[in-house]
A and B are shown apart, each in its own frame.
Chain A
Amino acid sequence: MVKRFLYICIALSGLLYGCANSDDSVFEETADQRINQALATYQTMLTGSQDGWDALVYPASGGVYSFYIRFSEDNRVVMYSDFDDQVASAPKESSYRLKAMQTPALIFDTYSYLHILSDPDPDVNNGTTGEGLRSDFEFSFYGDSVSTDRIALVGRRNKSRMVLTRASSSQKAAYESGAMGKNVGFHKIATLHSYFKRASISGVQYEIVYNPAKRTISFTWLNSSGNLVTYTTPYYYTAKGLQLVNPLMNGSQTINQLSDISWTESTKTINFSVNGAKSAIVEASAPLKPDNTAGRTWWQMAVNNDETYWVSWMGFHINGVDDALKVRDLTAPQSEFGYLLYWPGIGSNYDAFAPVFFNTQEGSVNILYGNAVSRPVYTNDGRVVFSHLGTIGTEEYPTSGPAVESARILYNSRGFYFIRTSAETYDMVSAADPRIWISWEFL
């Protein structure tokens, strides 16, 4: 009885198990067929935009970079890039292909402007040696972010993002006529030698700080209460202008873009328009509103902490030239120049301003000669004035040279404006000549 039951059980399980392999897949086609279809579809979508794509790339190291990309059926791709004005105005052709990897992937497989961001050679992009800007040139497709007008891709190596937006024929024509190249000319703002750069936009004075290393731009203005407001946003360029990633909103005014940028060589002005109204960047000789407390805070910070002071690695910047006085070429026996130092409160009634040398033989840091500076005087219009008390040091104070010239600038009777650039850095700008400044770092 039991045996018969067992036999029946085995037989039944044979029946069930034996036919469990029915063809029960969710899809009609095989996985390979579906992969091939996806690749073909994506290729058709990319090449289907005859006028190409606006592309924004967000590398893992930060910032956003803009490209114009046009794909063609024979695996060729043409690009413009906003990385500098040369690559913004001259197109470069290279190749691409689609490949089935863990996901369907788009590979830019020969060197293009896009690869500039990934290049591990720091001379190419000022990025980290061996890493570049941590960007990508192999991207994964994800089916839910693909449409005829917009394709969002994720980089395989660094997970950077690329967003493609279908371009119009007028955009294509604009890129091909060099429009983006002209806009990238905005970086000529660095050739304006004054520390303070301003533009009047719809009746409001903005002070502008352009930081191409970080790919950000800052605007500072006075609000209705007369207080300074600063707004910083990443930017990128297009054929239309400099695009603010996050629009600036000031009351009823919204600034999205500095459009139609051009450079006038004769007057050294950068022209642009905002919301249709023309504007220009001009040099100014003072901050919009001097920061009355910055100088005091700078001085006090070093006094509040033991054995701390301010150092400048590059000395005075004059008329567009770093270390214009060549303090970095100063020498001393067995020593190398280290930095210029300002030490508040080193003496009971004086501060020290001196070049500091590293003695490579003994491994020591020394002030050989320098200035004793009287306690700074703070004016009520935000300037800090330094005056000479005497000399300090074991060596003879030189009669000429970079140290002497630097002190002469320090002692200018008009003094300096202080601008705090970060928690531990300040810029000190000559009130007599805004093309002269020095950057201090807390040590």
Chain B
Amino acid sequence: MKTIINKKRIRIHLFFWVIVTSLFSGCKEEELGNVADISGLGGDVWVKGPIDQWIYDSLTVPYNISVKYKWDQFEFNNLTRTLVPADESQVLPLLRTIRNIWITPYVEDAGLTFFNKYSPKTFVLAGSNEYNTDGSVTLGTAEGGRKVILFAVNDFKVKGMPGYQAADSSFVKQWFFQTIHHEFAHILHQNKLYPQEYKQISSGLYQGGNWINFSDNDARKDGFVTSYSTSSFSEDFVEMIAVMLLEGKGGFDRIVNSIPEGNSINGTSKAQAQAALRTKEEMIVSYYKTAWNVDFYSLQAKTKAALTKVL
């Protein structure tokens, strides 16, 4: 059978579809608006003041660190919590102290490249504590090594600030300095693992979520530097680092030496507890040398010296 192709028919069909296609697509698409008009696209804008200038000169330029001290609701994870912004008069005293007890010692002993590579790039400040429904408050939080939130900035007090009393020092040390050193130590071991042997030192004595039922004194009897240390291997690792740096050699020695006689409730003897703490100390010092080429005791001395100036 011969198939007859009707050329005229094809031409009409083709012509028809060309028309239809061009009609459907031919009208001008809406133009993309002027992107520069979008409000707040590059971040909120305000007239810069002395605080902004100091942050830029002292943190952003040398270390690529930015600090959000002006209120932005969306920097906080839990929108149901009532928070208030930082008081301007608190910002620079806090940031200067953070630089002195964390940035400067690490930069001197581990190098600028190291510090810039591993430090969190954004700090967010909240004036008040974050109160949880169970009545507890949240210590600072850290996100993926990039962002650190510090709470209770309006309660920050060091020597030279109005209203400072010696009794403030343990709160300030724990709330601000311990948090930063603790979080930074996590970043370090997440980039270069600590040795597996560390996990053997106190094996069987870790408490997990039950850490909250122990005091620091109880934990020390078991060979842990703080009760939070007992929650996991990694927390143990970073709490040791934070405490050693902030207490200094003398302070840490005092902690180890003041473990009381007798056994802990888990049956750990004083000698075992002290040995555990010393072994952990050695491993950390060795880790810093091997992984980062840092003299830990030098870093410790510098950190402690800077801390003593302010608390």
Contact = CB atoms under 8 A, between A and B. Distances in A.
B37 A36 contact: yes
A218 to B, nearest CB: 31
6 contacts: A18-B26, A95-B49, A99-B44, A100-B39, A120-B129, A130-B81
B88 A95 contact: yes
Contact of B46 (A14, A97, A118, A130): A97
B128 A110 contact: no
Main secondary structure of the interface of B (DSSP, over half): loop
Interface of B: 16, 19-20, 23-30, 33-34, 37-40, 44-47, 49, 69-73, 81-88, 127-129, 131-133, 135, 154
A314 interface: no
A36 B39 contact: yes
A111 B82 contact: no
Interface string A143-168: 00000000000001100000000000
A35 B88 contact: no
Given A18-B26, A120-B84, A120-B129, 9 more contacts: A11-B23, A17-B23, A21-B29, A109-B85, A120-B128, A130-B131, A130-B132, A132-B82, A132-B84
Contacts of A30: 33-34, 37
Nearest to A75: B46
Contact of A111 (B19, B37, B85): B85
Contact of A97 (B38, B70, B87, B129): B70
A83 B127 CA distance: 19
A39 interface: yes
A240 B33 CA distance: 52
Contacts of A7: 16
B84 A138 contact: no
Interface in A160-202: none
A120 B39 contact: no
A11 B16 contact: yes
Contacts of A121: 128-129
Contacts of B87: 94, 110-111
By size class, the interface of chain A is 35 or more
A14 B23 contact: yes
Contacts of B83: 120
A245 interface: no
Given A18-B26, A120-B129, A115 B84 contact: yes
A30 B33 CA distance: 7
Contacts of B131: 120, 129-130
B26 A111 contact: no
A11 B33 contact: no
A384 to B, nearest CB: 42
A138 B73 contact: yes
B84 A11 contact: no
B44 A97 contact: yes
A199 to B, nearest CB: 38
A257 B161 CA distance: 41
Given A111-B87, A111-B154, A129 B135 contact: yes
B19 A14 contact: yes
The CB with the most chain B CB atoms within 10 A, among A10, A14, A21, A137, is that of A14
A27 to B, nearest CB: 12
The CB with the most chain B CB atoms within 10 A, among A18, A20, A73, A131, is that of A18
A307 interface: no
A119 interface: yes
A33 interface: yes
A32 B34 contact: yes
Contacts of B20: 10-11, 14
The CB with the most chain A CB atoms within 10 A, among B19, B73, B128, is that of B128
A6 to B, nearest CB: 11
Contacts of A76: 47, 49
A39 B39 CA distance: 9
Contacts of A111: 84-88, 127, 154
Contacts of B26: 18
A94 B88 contact: yes
Given A11-B16, A23-B30, A32 B49 contact: no
A107 interface: yes
B70 A95 contact: yes
A26 interface: no
Nearest to B35: A32
A31 B81 CA distance: 32
B71 A109 contact: yes
A1 interface: no
A134 B88 CA distance: 23
A107 B44 CA distance: 11
Contacts of B85: 108-111, 115, 137
Given A95-B88, A110-B86, A19 B127 contact: no
Contacts of B154: 111
A252 to B, nearest CB: 47
A138 B71 contact: yes
The CB with the most chain A CB atoms within 10 A, among B44, B81, B132, B133, is that of B44
A15 B34 contact: no
Contacts of A99: 39-40, 44
Contacts of A10: 20
A23 B87 CA distance: 48
A100 B40 contact: yes
Contacts of B23: 11, 14-15, 17-19
